[in-house]
Amino acid sequence: MNFVTLLAEFLSAVRARGTGGHRTGNRWFIWPGFVVLLVGGQILPCVAGNALPVSYRLGTGDTIKITVENESDLTLTHKVSEQGTIEMPLLGAITVANRTPKELAEEIQTRLRNGFLVHPVVTVAVLEYPSYLVHGEVKKGGGYPFQPGMTVKKAIESAGGFAPFAERNHFTISRRQNAGWELLTSVSLDDPIMPKDILHVSTSVTPQETGESVEFAYRIGPGDKLKVTVDNETSLSAEVTVSAQGGINLPMLGEVTVANLTVKDAEESIRTKLAAGFLVDPVVFVTVAEYRVYYMHGEIKKAGAFPFQPGLTVRKAIALAEGFTEYADRKGILIVHDNDPLFKEHTVNLNDPILPGDVVNVTASFW
């Protein structure tokens, strides 16, 4: 007999029996997304659709609903406290953190059966989950409300999508596991996101025209405008411009040097300073709100500084500079990257990318 036939026959028997009588034996309860079979007091959830796996463990920030059948005074909705507990009539404080909904329901049933109710039937459902966090190379890093079925791809979309220098195939997730954290490194766009996850989108690598492929991770420099967010600490969050000396001024910390650091490095530097006597386990996000300018000179019609735009190429930059002059050598375009301590010029072609702080020189040709 298949599952559907078994369920139909069982429900038919329940209807025939009516709503009266004692609460004994096996019962079926159905609500959207779940089918739960109570067999001798055991709760066996069958997860449907995009619900969380049954191994999901409750924690601080979860809002749960506890239902005791036919006992409205014992049915309540409660947010798990910072201590990982809830208060329940008759039973007092109950530890919730690090338990699955099934384990919590079984404990409440056991404690109610011990002197209060003969055959308590308890269900536990999660109504609201803690937020997940997205940082790194996304447009709007920060915390976002979790929904069952959340994936890495959907989380990045909720954060405004990839930033210009995002590595679109390299993500990591820091996931809360009991009292500690686990770092997941082999993460794809289709992998699930869990409540309290911290998703990091890495910085991309860009080949430079040096005769061989050289990795380039975008590094912060003077003129970049950064958005620094400290989770749950609005007074410590700020939008600041990197000074000519390569620093930013942050509440409580004062001057912090960020020049020549990647966004990830800057986050770690600020996090370490806050953890050294200010906050316990701070979560820090740094995003580039506005990139520094690039410079055009040589045989173009309009030389000067221009605001950087994501996706900028040499061809687009020359168009923004109103095009070549009549003496321009279209094969003699040189570029100096702002992060190169030697300020070495490299020959580039029209389709090569331009980065914030770059200096582009279009040379002359008289032949």
DSSP letter (8 states) at residue 118: S
Read off the pLDDT of residues 259-294 as tens digits, 9 standing for 90 and up. 888 888 899 999 999 999 888 888 888 888 888 899
Structurally, what CATH architecture does the domain formed by 132-290 represent? 2-Layer Sandwich (3.30)
pLDDT for the residue 249: 93
Domain ranges in the chain? 22-128, 132-290, 294-364
Read off the pLDDT of residues 54-100 as tens digits, 9 standing for 90 and up. 567 888 888 999 999 999 889 999 899 888 899 999 899 999 988 88
CA separation for the pair 88, 237 (Å, rounded):
38
Q: Is 46 exposed, middle or buried (0-12, 13-18, 19+ CB in 10 A)?
A: exposed
CA neighbor of 188 nearest in space, from 206, 203, 173? 173
CA separation for the pair 66, 76 (Å, rounded):
5
What class has domain 294-364? Answer: alpha beta
CATH 3.30.1950.10 fits domain 22-128: yes
pLDDT-derived band of residue 332, with 50, 70 and 90 as boundaries?
Answer: confident
Read off the pLDDT of residues 152-206 as tens digits, 9 standing for 90 and up. 999 999 998 887 777 888 888 988 776 677 889 889 999 999 988 989 887 764 4
- Give pTM, 2 decimals: 0.52
Which residues contact residue 165 at a Cβ distance below 8 angstroms, ignoring those fewer than 6 apart?
137, 203, 204, 206, 217, 218
CA separation for the pair 320, 126 (Å, rounded):
54
**22 vs 159: which has the higher pLDDT:** 159
Domains 22-128 and 294-364 share a fold: no
Q: Are 332 and 365 in contact (CB under 8 A)?
A: yes
